[in-house]
Structure 1
Amino acid sequence: MNKDKVSIIVPVYNVEKYLEKCLKSLISQSYKNIEIILIDDGSKDNSGRICDEYKRKDSRIKVIHKENAGVSEARNSGLQKAIGKYICFVDADDFVMNDYVEYMYELIVKNSSEIAICTKIFSNFDENQTSDEAIEDLDGENTVIRILNYRIPIGVYSKIFKKDLINDNKISFFKDIYMGEGFNFNVACFQRAKKVMISNHKVYYYRRDNSTSATTKFSIKKCENSLYAMKVMHDNLIIRTEHVINSWKYALWRTYSDAFDYMYLGNGKKDNLDKFKEYKKYIKNNYKTYKKVDISKKDKFRAILMGVFPETIPFILKCRRFIYKIKI
């Protein structure tokens, strides 16, 4: 019998098109001792009604209806409500494999760690499971370095956290951050952990074609918020070794380059020309931060290409989206 309860926190906002698939994947988990906390963040579509319908179907589901206050406040509400010994997160427009909880639970418990992470995810263009499973353990500092180097997904999905780690260190999501809020939360947790388990096994399906996602509709405020999030992260670093700071500098550069790509893809250049020039200048002047960090060959190539020809990669991405008919 599964002894420990695991709380799954799911912020919900205007995702009626995708929500049922997400919920079906959660109630079908092989690990049964779970609670599913759905936070309806003031949805204007039928998302709230769908949450209530599934609550009636499954007693493990709890629903919180609240006025819209953003994803950070929604997740914080879930953390306050959670009674599980372990916490994991799912985005309502994504879905998970039936061993999502069980695999990560076994990983964290059997190895007496405070966090377990699955670094690989399924996407629209990759439906194959990892052929060779690889598992390792890291300390807090090296886990921070790895996520800052983008070798770990920066979102809170595909991770499980010991609740005591979160509560004892009073960790929560920053209320005024909605782009990079998960990145900040992860770093806050990682740097306080003694042991973190890492696996390349895939348990999470990340949807890239959701037109309602915060990452798809262009807004200059989103770009600026993501950069603000990196400043907040820096101000709250408690591990400030040379390796960590170098990795943070790379992550900041990466945030600028992602914002630049996002502006280009979202046709935001015309209305935000000053910011477009500012981001482009920063990218060209600071791309060599990649030389001081351990990143993938693909990311090294990206850094060099962006540093020399900043508009090349977003142009390629725009062509790819056209081919796959995915609108920004």
Structure 2
Amino acid sequence: MVKVSIGVPVYNVEEYLRQCLNSIMEQTFTDFEVIMVDDGSTDNSFSICQEYVAKDNRFKLIHQENKGLAGARNTCIKNMHGEFITWIDSDDVVDNNYLERLLEVQAETGADIVKCAKKHIRGNNVYYITNYDNLYKMYENNNQVINFQKLDILLDAIDSHLAIVEFWGTLIPRRLYKGISISQGVIYEDQGNKFKLYLQSKKNILLLEQLYGYRIREGSIMRRQSSLEKELDDLQFYTYNWDKLVYYADVSNYNVEKIRETYIEKLNDLYTDVNLGEEDNKIYREAINKQKQKLQRYWNM
């Protein structure tokens, strides 16, 4: 059995794919397999993946009809054999000691889940580096390692205050994925699925070394003007994921009251965060109130 399975979902990323796969080939830790799932790409991504399969037997390639990111992740999981799993998005890159450091920290701490910090890249250059000292100033920092309480991480699936909800940049034992399927057809699929793993974990570590390069694509940083339709869509996506979190916490009998409380607080925050006209604000407020009423009926509040 290999030590680490690296999942790389691939869809129409020919411009960036070689940079991603080269950064994996250059890892200082070498006992890994790469499971690439081409999710129905219409560009040259599949052919590029074939190049790496031909020159490195650690790279495995699966082609499927388009199922979306979650569907590609599920296919990856079914074909993984490593003791640990990590995810690298196919337009991102990792430092050459990415695997080595995650494994070292896992061995030193005995953590179930280890996540590293990220840097933003554009083209071949570092574009933006988050001030993690400020972001995590309320947590004890032991030699660039923070030990998070499980509840803090689960609440992050609602308010994203810790910026650790993503699948990528994380080392997780494959045993925690047993019986878990990544929900398909869901926007913000990280937010709506990773908490399933955290509910099973006992110790969760963040390594403040920026080993993961998260790509800012040209055009992706342009924010659309706020509109009622967009805000209502986002509200639907958010609440769908949060409803799942509450359900799983309830089934697991884990701090469900605190999670519900944070859910309601976040609904109130959503209203104050949008910038709509008077009539649209009224419609948006009504949508939030309907969601709160639904929750109160469900929870018998």
- TM category (shorter chain) comes to 0.7 to 0.9
Instruction: Return the alpha-carbon distance in structure 1 between the equivalents of residues 233 and 111 of structure 2.
Output: 34
1:55-74 aligned at under 5 Å gives the runs 55-74=53-72
Instruction: Return the alpha-carbon distance in structure 2 between the equivalents of residues 275 and 64 of structure 1.
Output: 46
1:12-27 aligned at under 5 Å gives the runs 12-27=10-25
Aligned residues: CA RMSD: 3.6
Give 1:175's match in structure 2, choosing from 184, 192, 196: 184
1:99-178 aligned at under 5 Å gives the runs 99-124=97-122, 125-126=127-128, 133-150=143-160, 151-167=162-178, 170-177=179-186
1:78-93 aligned at under 5 Å gives the runs 78-93=76-91
Name structure 2 gaps, 5 residues minimum: 134-140, 292-301
Question: Which position in structure 2 is the counterpart of 1:295?
Answer: none
For each residue in 1:36-65, what CA deviation from the matched residue of structure 2 results, as whole angstroms up to 9, or x when unmatched? 111100001111111111111211101010
Q: Tell which has more relative contact order, 1 or 2 (C-alpha 8 A, sep 6+).
A: 2
Give 2:245's match in structure 1, choosing from 233, 241, 245: 233
Question: Which position in structure 1 is the counterpart of 2:198?
Answer: 190
Deviation at 1:123, TM superposition (A): 4.3
Q: 1:245 to 1:39 in 2, by over 3 A?
A: same
Q: Which amino acid aligns with 1:116?
A: V
Question: Which position in structure 1 is the counterpart of 2:211?
Answer: 203
TM-score (normalizing by structure 2)? 0.76
Does residue 7 (structure 1) correspond to residue 9 (structure 2)? The answer is no
Instruction: Return the alpha-carbon distance in structure 2 between the equivalents of residues 205 and 234 of structure 1.
Output: 32
- Identity percentage over the alignment? 27
Question: Which position in structure 1 is the counterpart of 2:260?
Answer: 245
1:38 and 1:63 in contact (8 A); partners too: yes
Name structure 1 gaps, 5 residues minimum: 287-328
Q: Counting helix residues as a fraction of each chain, which structure ranks higher?
A: 1
Question: Which position in structure 2 is the counterpart of 1:314?
Answer: none
Instruction: Return the alpha-carbon distance in structure 1 between the equivalents of residues 60 and 270 of structure 2.
Output: 35
Deviation at 1:155, TM superposition (A): 1.5
Instruction: Return the alpha-carbon distance in structure 2 between the equivalents of residues 255 and 59 of structure 1.
Output: 48
Q: 1:116 to 1:146 in 2, by over 3 A?
A: same
Q: Counting strand residues as a fraction of each chain, which structure ranks higher?
A: 2
2:9 and 2:36 in contact (8 A); partners too: yes
1:28-67 aligned at under 5 Å gives the runs 28-67=26-65
Instruction: Return the alpha-carbon distance in structure 2 between the equivalents of residues 23 and 39 of structure 1.
Output: 13
TM-score (normalizing by structure 1)? 0.70
Deviation at 1:247, TM superposition (A): 3.3
Deviation at 1:159, TM superposition (A): 0.9
**DSSP-derived class of the 1:16 partner:** coil
For each residue in 1:277-318, what CA deviation from the matched residue of structure 2 results, as whole angstroms up to 9, or x when unmatched? 64477789x9xxxxxxxxxxxxxxxxxxxxxxxxxxxxxxxx
Instruction: Return the alpha-carbon distance in structure 2 between the equivalents of residues 188 and 128 of structure 1.
Output: 27
Q: 1:163 to 1:280 in 2, by over 3 A?
A: same
